[in-house]
Amino acid sequence: MLKAIIFDLDGTLLDRDTSLKAFVENQHQRMVELQHIDKSAYVKRFVDLDQRGYVWKDKVYQQLIHEFEIALQWEVLLEDYMHHFSLHCVGFPNLHELLTYLKKSGFKLGLITNGYGTFQMKNIEALRILTYFDTILVSEIEGLRKPDPEIFHRALARLGAQPGEAAYVGDHPENDVWASRRVGMRGIWKEDDQFAGDFEREYTIRDLIELKEYLEQLQTGLK
């Protein structure tokens, strides 16, 4: 019987691609030192260098300054990113509807995300989902990151759940699905076109609200 649902953040609850593009466009618009660069070229190059969040922004901005001859220190651009990104955070459709349903249904909710503590917490607050969660683990604060099994065990302990009583929902086949299954949880894939679908998981959802359908199937013994 499932009693806890744990989520990834970026690419699962937070539509990071849309949020990042909105931020980068806004940064270009606001900063005089970027006006000599074509906006679409700046956005495209930023997104390419970012590699979906797996390259930290100090490296991204250093390369942008070099390529576009920007008359700013990379630290200035990074500080702007840290301060303004959360203002552009967008959740995936049915985010609040799903979390409300889960809380009303009595599930314990957790969140595990890799990243910097203050930065990720600001993004969670910007999505207005902080109060839904019984525990939130950010890799910088915890001192370990996915796919390390310890971060999953730590979340389970805080929720008072055994691995077999919990499901993890995430978009990354290795860091989310495989890693959670390895500790005995149900690994549910939030489908992402960037990743091939030929890996083992308990279930696949494309829209967040489809998780509700999966849980209802579990209750009726269909899963």
Residue range 73-130, pLDDT digits in tens:
999 999 999 999 999 999 999 999 999 999 999 999 999 999 999 999 999 999 999 9
pLDDT: which is higher, 179 or 221: 179
pLDDT single digits (tens) 33-89: 999 999 999 999 999 999 988 898 999 999 999 999 999 999 999 999 999 999 999
User: Model pTM?
Assistant: 0.94
- Residue 220 pLDDT > 90: no
Burial of 119 (0-12, 13-18, 19+ CB in 10 A): middle
For residue 204, give the H/E element and its range. strand 203-205
What is the DSSP pairing of strand 4-7 with strand 108-113? parallel
Q: For the chain, count helices (H), then strands (E).
A: 10, 6
* Whole-number Å distance between alpha carbons of 36 and 139: 37
Judged against a pLDDT cut of 90, whether residue 193 lies above it is answered with no
* 4-15+90-219 CATH fold: Rossmann fold (3.40.50)
Q: Where are the domains of the chain?
A: 4-15+90-219, 16-88
Tokens of 88: 């552009």
Task: Give the rounded distance of the alpha carbon of 155 from its chain centre.
Answer: 16
- Distance (Å, whole) CA 5 – CA 10: 16
Output 190 or 223, whichever has higher pLDDT.
190
Query: Quick one: CA torsion of 50, 52, 56, 57, rounded to 10 degrees?
Result: 40
pLDDT of residue 222: 55
